Amino acid sequence: MKSQKINDTFARMYRSSQYRIWLWILGFFTMLAVHIVYKTKKGKDAFAGMKEELRGQREMQDLKEQFFQDALVQVQKKNEYFKKTMSESEAQKQARAIADKNFEQLLNDKTKEQAEMQKVHEITLVSCYAELMQNPAFMAVSFVLSFPMYILMLLFMRPIAKYITERLFLMIFVLFGVTWLVFTILYIAPMDAAMNILGQTATPEQIANFNHIYGLDQPYLTQLFDTFKNLLTFDLGNAYQGNEPVMTAIMAKFPITMQVTFSSMVVALIIAVPAGIVSAIKPYSSFDYIAMFIALLGLSIPNFWLGLMLILEFSINMGWVPATFQPGNWVTLIMPAIVVGTGMSASIARMTRSSMLEVKNSDYVLTARAKGLAEKKVVLKHILGNALIPIVTMIGMSFGNLMGGAAVTEKVFNINGIGSYIVDKQFIPDIPVVLAGVVYISFVVSLMNLIVDILYAFIDPRIKSKMKNY
């Protein structure tokens, strides 16, 4: 039973050309053994014999000749129509090729038909594998030698796991692309970090020495390769300025940025979703007009200006909350969360309203009402539930903007997060800091997008069933 499942998975994986490559890479020894067995057995089994026997038959030879004549007429007609002149031998060559192709196809089909009747199986690589797996010794050795292949198989068996793996795999390429892009931009930069740090009075020797210490005198490809390696091993060396290890600084600052981002997301959701729902239920009412005006206003207010105004009103004039952020003090988190959350809640509220309005007049909503469901259930389960996909997409998209725009808010509230770290260091430009900051933030954003895509499956059963057959 279990071995049957393994064989099936193997067959399905072998069918796709991309997975075939991965089977060879991850399970080289097993594949090699299977391949050798397959090569030795091929052409010597009952199936091949049957095919040769059919080919030798008289009527099949006649059929081949007939195919050739048909193809010749076809080629001639075609030339006539397109007013093309072609030599006789050329036309015959073309016709022969067509005829051969057709004949092989027919032969294959016929053999298969006959084989099925006589219960003879064609030998393939997959069937060789199945046969070998019957042998417990081979199975054990194969499990030990090519366990990565079996891990891949395990992932392949579960559709959602397979989907996630494939997306993660693509993400790695995208992140390599991002690294390459940002590195190249910084590499071709006319800005000279050595000059900026050592000052105008630096001698050429000092600059050369600086460049040597940080590996800036290496050729482009070496530097690029080192960057990849450093990012993967989380060892980014020291920053040019201050000489602190970049990774420690980033590790200390990342959680702060994430804290601000997630709390503002919570604020945004608390404001936006109820406002959007009420606006959609009572469209063109006063509440709708006012809420949507405020939403548009929220989209148009610059974050830093709103931050400054809040500081002016609540910190300077009223003295309620401190103007700057202190880690661990949640009161100081309120204003940044509101500022960052405003823009986000505006777009989410607008999206909630429009996507709920779209499904509001569907037939199934009418049905739900007709069968006497409570209004609350109709709205929350049937309307909101079916309008959720665009809303979730919007949330995922705003997350990227949040992480990117964090730099500005962090500057306003003097938050010691990764955004303001990048901005501080970009004047030099401190290449490792800028690079690592951008790449790691892009990584988090991509991961968030992946999570949103997976969430679709849990929200929409149609997508889930599509994924099951994936």
Partner 1 sequence: MAKNAQTKNESLYLKKVNKRKLGGSLEFTTSRLAFQVTGVLALLLVLWQVLLPLVKGEEISTVIGIITAIYGLEFLVQFIIVKKIEKEITGTAGEISNITRKMGILLLPSVVTGNFLVFIAGAMLLKKEKNLEYQLAVYSLLVNIFVILISLFNLFKDTIVYTFWTGIGFYALYAVLNLVVIAAVSKYTFGKKPDKKFLPFAVICLLGIALGNVFSFMLGLIALGKYFNKNEEVSVEWIDVIKRLFRNYTAVIGMFFVVLFISISIGSNLTFDYDIAISNNFAARLAKPSLMYPFGCDDYGRCVFTRIIFGASISLIIGIISTIVPIIIGGLLGAMAGFYGGRKDNVIMRVLDVLHAVPSILLAIAIIAAFGVSTINLILALSVSMIPSYARTVRAQVMGISNQEFVEAAKACGAKNGTIIFKHIIPNSLAPVIVQATMGIGSAVLSTSSLSYLGIGVEAHVPEWGNVLKAGSTFLETNPYIAIFPGIAIIIIVLAFNFFGDGLRDALDPKLK
Residues that bind partner 1 (CB under 8 A): 173-175, 177-178, 181-182, 185-186, 188-191, 296-297, 299-305, 308-309, 311-312, 316, 400-401, 403-405, 407-408, 411-412, 422-423, 426-427, 429, 434, 437-438, 441-442, 445-446
Minimal distance in Å, beta carbon 260 to partner 1?
Answer: 15
* Residue 245 vs 400, nearer CB to partner 1: 400
* Residue 182 vs 344, nearer CB to partner 1: 182
Minimal distance in Å, beta carbon 273 to partner 1?
Answer: 21
* Residue 148 vs 177, nearer CB to partner 1: 177
Q: Which residues contact 287 (CB under 8 A, 6 or more apart)?
A: 278, 279
Query: What angle, 0 to 180 degrees and rounded to 10, lies between the N-to-C axes of helices 388-412 and 246-281?
Result: 130
Which residue's entry shows tokens 């929409």?
A: 460
* Residue 175 vs 281, nearer CB to partner 1: 175
* Residue 117 vs 316, nearer CB to partner 1: 316
Minimal distance in Å, beta carbon 187 to partner 1?
Answer: 8
* Residue 86 vs 301, nearer CB to partner 1: 301
CA distance 156 to 165: 9
Minimal distance in Å, beta carbon 279 to partner 1?
Answer: 14
Minimal distance in Å, beta carbon 119 to partner 1?
Answer: 42
Quick one: 140 exposed, middle or buried, by C-beta within 10 A (0-12, 13-18, 19+)? exposed
When computed from its CA atoms, the radius of gyration of the chain, rounded to whole angstroms, is: 33
* Residue 68 vs 440, nearer CB to partner 1: 440
CA distance 375 to 281: 11
3-state secondary structure of 238: strand
Of the candidates 359, 375, 385, 356, the residue with the CA atom closest to the CA atom of residue 292: 356
One-letter amino acid of 118: Q
Which residue's entry shows tokens 């974050």?
A: 303
Minimal distance in Å, beta carbon 412 to partner 1?
Answer: 8
CA distance 240 to 324: 28
Q: Which residues contact 313 (CB under 8 A, 6 or more apart)?
A: none
Report the length, in residues, of the chain: 470
Minimal distance in Å, beta carbon 345 to partner 1?
Answer: 15
**Tokens for 363?**
């037939």
One-letter amino acid of 132: L
Alpha helices in 188-219 (DSSP H): 193-198, 204-213
* Residue 292 vs 391, nearer CB to partner 1: 292
3-state secondary structure of 245: strand
* Residue 2 vs 81, nearer CB to partner 1: 81
CA distance 437 to 421: 8
Minimal distance in Å, beta carbon 335 to partner 1?
Answer: 14
Alpha helices in 282-333 (DSSP H): 286-300, 303-310
Minimal distance in Å, beta carbon 254 to partner 1?
Answer: 14
Other beta carbons within 10 Å of 222 = 11
* Residue 251 vs 297, nearer CB to partner 1: 297
Minimal distance in Å, beta carbon 190 to partner 1?
Answer: 7
